[in-house]
Amino acid sequence: MAASNVRHALFCAIVTLVISYPILGLNLEAEGINIVLTGTDTTTVVAIACAALVVLLFQLFRDSLMGKLGAVSNLNPLTGRKPMEQKERAKLESWVLTGLVVVALFWPFFSSRGAVDLATLVLIYVILALGLNVVVGLAGLLDLGYVAFYAVGAYTFALLSQYYGVSFWMALPLGALLAGLFGLLLGFPVLRLRGDYLAIVTLGFGEIIRILLNNWTNVTGGPNGIGGIPDPTLFGMEFGRRVKEEGNTSFHETFGIAYSGEHKVIFLYLIALVLAIITALIIRRLMKMPVGRAWEALREDEIAARSLGLSRTAVKLSAFTIGAFFAGFAGTLFASKQGFISPESFVFLESAIILAIVVLGGMGSQIGVILAAIAVTILPELAREFSEYRMLIFGAAMVLMMIWRPQGLVPMRRLHITLKTQE
């Protein structure tokens, strides 16, 4: 153990103390108009000391520890496994997906209302994440203002229904198209920018949209938001107890069944499910089409792709617009599910969560993104007592994923053809 190693370890331990003790160990408490400083409980202090000790020991024995950790991966029986044949994989995948869809179609009828409601939210996140996956995962454009397009979709529906009485089914394509148009308009000038500038510009755009929604009080209602957004109807049948709009009938009367609030929840869930499946299928198709290949080519090597005749702006713009389009889709759905929207729902953190879903699932991988959307939305609900740690764990998970597994939990697999060696 060299002396420099010991010095470094001590230094790291001291830094750990310096960055944790003043913040965690001393609490600012407001007493009337005065603020007083109180020491925290012993457990926290002990925990801080333990953390420093762990850092010290880890830095001291870092080399030998890391060597042993490297050997651990050899114990994993799956390491040396050959990847499955492409054909078999595709077959297995399609069977699993069909099974999942069938289960997803029927389970809400045997489940509680809260669970179905949560599942609808999960599906909205699935649509959002699939859309962002096109922009970030496939085209490699970091969009930090994705939530702006989500807001455009939601507010389009809310405003149209409030001022012109437009129904959900009319607003769904309109909201998505308008969000796509916003994507096109924003994308056109900014897509020339390099990666990280693009990230900041989209972030700025997202903030601009939110501030406008917040302050344009006489149209958007400002921070109070818009309420009374109508529910979707099924061929003119409403799901409320009483019919609100003339010319409509109500669902339970038409079918002669007792009124139940669950009908509406399940109906919304089924709409979300169908939309999510449509989104996944369209994007799956696009990925295999020339435009999808172009996205990936441009992401991998911009100069090579351009020298092969791809138009940088057109390719990036298509990805950006399509991503925005699906965000608008999800936004309309969200507005209808909540019945009330306000700028509160469209803050930067929401963009970060959707980005985290894409990153955790594996950029570009559809299955991964869907699984991550389910996990990220459901886990906090299951562990409610840890809810205050949710975002803390989120941030840490993003960092750790980037360090250890930047390709995500279920990395994307390319379609590929291997040449048989001739004998």
* 86 forms part of the interface with other proteins (CB under 8 A): no
> Residue 380, SS3?
helix
Residue of the chain from 51, 397, 409, 410 that contacts other proteins (CB under 8 A): 397
244-268: b (≥16 Cβ within 10 Å) or e: eeeeeebbbeeeeeeeeebbbbbbb
Contact range with other proteins by CB under 8 A, out of 34-42, 240-248, 253-261, 320-328: 34-42
Query: In this structure, which amino acid lies at residue 286?
Result: L
Length of the chain: 423
Which of 202/250 has CB closer to other proteins? 202
Say if CB 265 and CB 117 are below 8 A apart. yes
Say if CB 128 and CB 326 are below 8 A apart. yes
Residue of the chain from 283, 333, 355, 374 that contacts other proteins (CB under 8 A): 355
Residue of the chain from 95, 197, 340, 386 that contacts other proteins (CB under 8 A): 197
Residue of the chain from 117, 207, 231, 262 that contacts other proteins (CB under 8 A): 207
Residues 299-318 close enough to bind other proteins by CB under 8 A: 303
* 24 forms part of the interface with other proteins (CB under 8 A): yes
**C-alpha–C-alpha distance, residues 243 and 252, integer Å:** 11
Instruction: Taking the CA atoms of 394, 398, 400 and 404 in sequence, report the sign of the dihedral they define.
Output: positive
Which of 196/385 has CB closer to other proteins? 196
Residues 122-161 close enough to bind other proteins by CB under 8 A: 136, 140, 142, 144
Residue of the chain from 165, 261, 339, 406 that contacts other proteins (CB under 8 A): 406
**C-alpha–C-alpha distance, residues 372 and 133, integer Å:** 12
Name the residue with tokens 């990395």: 411
**C-alpha–C-alpha distance, residues 249 and 254, integer Å:** 7
Q: How far apart are the first and last CA of the chain?
A: 55
Residue of the chain from 66, 90, 185, 211 that contacts other proteins (CB under 8 A): 211
- The vertex-356 CA angle with 350 and 357, nearest 5°, equals 95
Contact range with other proteins by CB under 8 A, out of 90-98, 126-134, 252-260, 398-406: 398-406
**Cβ at position 262, least distance to other proteins in Å:** 36
Q: Per-residue string for binding with other proteins, 361-380, x by CB under 8 A?
A: --------------------
Say if CB 164 and CB 325 are below 8 A apart. no
**Contact footprint for other proteins (CB under 8 A):** 15-16, 18-19, 22-24, 26-28, 30, 33, 35-37, 136, 140, 142, 144, 189-190, 193, 195-197, 199-201, 203-205, 207-208, 211-212, 214-215, 303, 348-349, 352, 355-356, 359, 388-389, 391-392, 394-399, 401-403, 406
